[in-house]
């Protein structure tokens, strides 16, 4: 079982619609959860982080965390063509190196005009 | 404020050679982590340094080594390069250890021929 799992996609989303990305993790002790956006050929850019159960909103982005279900999600409202990218879910490990990030393989999002 | 900087941007090496990659963290950040990202995968943790000490090491061979300097900048060294070392090498900067947000630099694209 992979430590962090994401659907690889591509997730095709019409412009203006909501994109919903999901991520599950195996380390039950993880406390911090991050979403990174990565454009092709570029480095990951931190767009959201969440530490507590529930929802966290920042502009068009909403992160949702459910620690009991070991599940974190990202909603992108009013999707724009510029949102087309790979979205990486990352979780901080609680074993070995404290604070190291464990990444999923990413979900590719394609916003179609 | 300047973000994380890395040099060089691109590098082409031959099998068996050695390479040194450099990273400068965000001002005020004391922790630097190194990640390797191969095409189609999420970044994989290599090293974490905090206050010039190694605080974590991922599942990479001893050919990989790193250090952190008094100004918190860092170098990653890879000896006896293999074709499989071809990847994007990412440096991430954070304020401290643990559950702090990590911000990535632009990366160094290493190609081993």
Q: Which residue has the tokens 């300047």?
A: B2
pLDDT of residue B99: 73
pLDDT at B97: 80
Q: How confident is the model at residue A29 (pLDDT cuts 50, 70, 90)?
A: confident
CB-based contact (8 Å) between A25 and chain B? no
pLDDT, mean of each 10-residue run, chain B (113 residues):
92 98 96 96 95 92 97 97 98 88 97 98
Please determine, for residue A96, whether its predicted confidence score (pLDDT) is greater than 70.
Answer: no
The pLDDT of residue A31 is: 86
Look at B42 and A4 and tell me if their CB atoms are within 8 Å: yes
Q: How close does chain A come to B112, measured CA to CA in Å?
A: 18
Q: Quick check: A69 pLDDT over 70?
A: yes
- Please tell me which residue of chain A has the smallest CA distance to B33: A100
pLDDT of residue A95: 65
CB atoms within 10 A of CB B48: 28
Backbone angles phi, psi at A13, to 5 degrees: -130, 130
> Burial level of B108, CB count in 10 A (0-12/13-18/19+)?
buried
Chain B residue with minimum CA distance to A88: B42
What's the confidence (pLDDT) of residue A28? 87
């Amino acid at each position: 079982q992979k430590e962090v799992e994401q659907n690889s996609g591509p997730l095709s989303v019409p412009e203006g619609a909501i994109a919903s990305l999901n991520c599950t993790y195996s380390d039950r002790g993880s406390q911090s959860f991050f979403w990174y956006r990565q454009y092709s050929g570029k480095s990951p850019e931190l767009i959201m982080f969440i530490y507590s159960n529930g929802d966290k909103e920042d502009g068009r982005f909403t992160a949702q965390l459910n620690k009991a279900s070991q599940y974190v999600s990202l909603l992108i409202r009013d999707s724009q063509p510029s949102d087309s990218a790979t979205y990486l879910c990352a979780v901080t490990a609680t074993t070995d190196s404290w604070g190291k990030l464990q990444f999923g393989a990413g979900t590719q999002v394609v916003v179609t005009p | 404020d300047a973000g994380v900087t890395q040099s060089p941007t691109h590098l082409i090496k031959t099998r068996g050679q050695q390479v040194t990659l450099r990273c400068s963290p965000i001002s005020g950040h004391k922790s630097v982590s190194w990640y390797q990202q191969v095409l189609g995968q999420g970044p994989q943790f290599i090293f974490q340094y905090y206050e010039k000490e190694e605080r974590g090491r991922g599942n990479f061979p001893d050919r990989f080594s790193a250090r952190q300097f008094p100004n918190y900048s860092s170098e990653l060294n890879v000896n006896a390069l293999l074709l499989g070392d071809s990847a994007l090498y990412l440096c991430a900067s954070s304020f401290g250890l643990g559950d702090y947000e990590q911000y990535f630099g632009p990366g160094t694209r290493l190609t081993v021929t």
